[in-house]
Structures are given as structure tokens and as C-alpha cells.
């Protein structure tokens, strides 16, 4: 049986080197964009529109949309709320459309738009994601949103966790150095994940902003089996056959 490949891209800046229209791309921004997006769909959001710029988000606001937007971990003044998963409560978002713009995550999602399929991944939906990818017969690229294009420890460790599961399933293989490295970091981290990522710059950043409470939640496995998927320019819930 022909195996499919799994690759890991550590920064959106190097994404063009890995880009391939045949790939299924899993975008990951553990702290916190993709963790929040997964939570939003778990809590019943209907559609989520990722936008790159603050101006785009503001234009949607003027048209009456609900806006989640932050930069550098801080909520923008015109936004309805920011990027913490606990903002996305069923009361606020169930059945609604949200416009979402963050420092790193939403830009990575848009960047991958020319692939076969763009999925939103995180520890929160890792088992559902693994099961879905195992059923497809396509190469997988895990795209780390990183921090302003710099390597991010928590995104890379997640990429390693997903790589490890895909390789363990026997249908995937890899000759990608970053996939090997990410997997080794995951194997090192998995026994005490929160302890391990304590040295991550993003963790310190959130602590300083008083947003540390989201860290443990964002590293919890299998809170949901929902997988957000990009359809055109909009994220919706993946309908499994």
C-alpha cells in the first residue's frame, strides 16, 4: 500500500517551500487561535470568517457582524471580544457568524487556502483529526502559525503529537526533518505537557497579560470531535460522511 507523507512547517514564512495544492493542511495555533476556533464550533457557532487585517475586521463590524479580534494578546477596542477560548460561550455564539482576526492564526489559515483542504487543529480535537486524516488518501502538511513567523514551541509540540499518531497508524511516512524534530519534542513533552511548555515565550506573554488561565485548557486533549474546515473564505464544521 502506498503511504502518504506527513510534513511539518514551523513558520508561515517558509510555507511556500512546502505548499502543494494536493496537500490537506492542518493549521495550528495552540495559544490561542485554533484552540478558540475549535471551541467556537464545539459551542455551536455556525460560520467563522477569518480575516487578516484590523481594517477588514472593522469593516465587518460596521456591517453588524460579531467581531473577535486581538493583536499581541490584547482585544481590539472595536471588537466584541478577544481570542480566549472562554469568550466563545454558547450563549454568545450559538447559530451565529463570527468574524475573527488574530496576530498569527487567521493569517496562516488564509495562506493555506489553495490546498486540497484546510482543517483547524489543536489538542482539543486531536483524536477526531487523526481519525479523519487516517481515512483520507492524501498527503498532510501541519502548518504552525508560530509567533510573528518565529518558531513556536507549543505549536511545534502539537505538530509532533499529530505526526506521532499518524505515523503510528501505519498509513503515513515522513522524510521531513521538521516532522522528526517535532515528534521528538512531543515524545519529550508528553509526560508533563504543561510543565514542558512552561519555557515557551507565548506562555510568558500570556502570563504577563493575565491570560494564563487558557493555557491548560488549550493543551487538553479531546474536548470535542468537531473539526473546523475552510470552505471558500469561511470556516464551517466538517461534515463527516
Residues of this chain that bind a copy of itself (CB under 8 A): 10-11, 13-14, 17-18, 147-153, 156, 175-178, 180-181, 184-185, 188, 199-202, 204
> Are the C-beta atoms of residues 3 and 174 closer than 8 Å to each other?
no
Shortest gap between Cβ of 10 and a copy of itself (angstroms)?
A: 6
Between 70 and 154, CB nearer to a copy of itself: 154
Between 177 and 212, CB nearer to a copy of itself: 177
Which three cell numbers, joined as nine digits, stand for 163?
505526526
Between 74 and 180, CB nearer to a copy of itself: 180
Shortest gap between Cβ of 13 and a copy of itself (angstroms)?
A: 5
Between 176 and 235, CB nearer to a copy of itself: 176
Shortest gap between Cβ of 203 and a copy of itself (angstroms)?
A: 10
Between 23 and 178, CB nearer to a copy of itself: 178
> Are the C-beta atoms of residues 143 and 108 closer than 8 Å to each other?
yes
Which three cell numbers, joined as nine digits, stand for 145?
502559525
Shortest gap between Cβ of 40 and a copy of itself (angstroms)?
A: 26
Give the DSSP per-residue string, the chain.
Answer: -PPEEEEEES-GGGHHHH--TTPEEEEE-TTTHHHHHHHHHHTT--EEEE-SSHHHHHHHHHTT-EEEEEETTEE-TT-SB-S-GGG--HHHHTT-EEEEE-SSHHHHHHHTTTSSEEEEE-GGGHHHHHHHHHHS-S-EEEEE-TBTTB--HHHHHHHHHHHHHHHHTTSEE---HHHHHHHHHHHHHGGGHHHHGGG-HHHHHHHHTT-THHHHHHT-S-S----EEEETTEEEE----
Between 133 and 144, CB nearer to a copy of itself: 144
Shortest gap between Cβ of 138 and a copy of itself (angstroms)?
A: 21
Among left, alpha and beta (phi > 0; psi -120 to 50; other), residue 87 is alpha
Shortest gap between Cβ of 182 and a copy of itself (angstroms)?
A: 9
Between 18 and 60, CB nearer to a copy of itself: 18
Shortest gap between Cβ of 212 and a copy of itself (angstroms)?
A: 16
Amino acid at each position: 500500500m502506498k503511504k502518504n507523507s506527513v510534513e511539518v512547517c514551523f513558520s508561515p514564512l517558509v510555507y511556500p517551500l512546502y505548499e502543494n495544492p494536493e496537500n490537506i493542511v492542518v493549521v495550528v495555533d495552540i495559544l490561542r487561535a485554533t484552540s478558540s476556533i475549535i471551541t467556537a464550533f464545539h459551542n455551536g457557532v455556525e460560520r467563522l470568517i477569518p480575516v487578516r487585517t484590523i481594517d477588514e475586521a472593522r469593516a465587518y463590524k460596521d456591517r453588524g457582524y460579531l467581531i473577535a479580534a486581538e493583536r499581541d494578546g490584547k482585544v481590539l477596542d472595536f471588537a466584541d471580544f478577544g481570542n480566549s477560548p472562554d469568550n466563545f460561550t454558547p450563549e454568545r455564539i450559538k447559530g451565529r457568524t463570527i468574524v475573527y482576526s488574530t496576530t498569527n492564526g487567521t493569517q496562516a489559515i488564509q495562506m493555506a487556502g489553495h490546498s486540497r483542504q484546510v482543517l483547524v487543529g489543536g489538542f482539543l480535537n486531536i483524536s477526531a483529526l487523526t481519525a479523519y486524516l487516517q481515512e483520507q488518501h492524501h498527503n498532510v502538511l501541519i502548518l504552525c502559525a508560530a509567533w510573528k513567523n518565529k518558531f513556536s514551541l507549543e505549536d511545534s509540540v502539537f505538530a509532533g503529537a499529530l505526526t506521532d499518531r499518524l505515523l503510528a497508524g501505519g498509513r503515513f511516512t515522513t522524510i521531513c526533518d521538521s516532522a522528526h524534530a517535532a515528534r521528538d519534542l512531543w515524545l519529550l513533552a508528553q509526560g508533563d505537557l504543561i510543565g514542558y511548555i512552561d519555557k515557551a515565550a507565548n506562555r510568558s506573554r500570556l502570563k504577563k497579560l493575565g491570560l494564563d488561565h487558557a493555557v491548560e485548557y488549550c493543551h487538553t486533549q479531546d474536548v470535542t470531535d468537531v473539526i473546523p474546515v475552510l470552505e471558500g473564505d469561511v470556516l464551517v464544521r466538517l461534515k463527516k460522511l
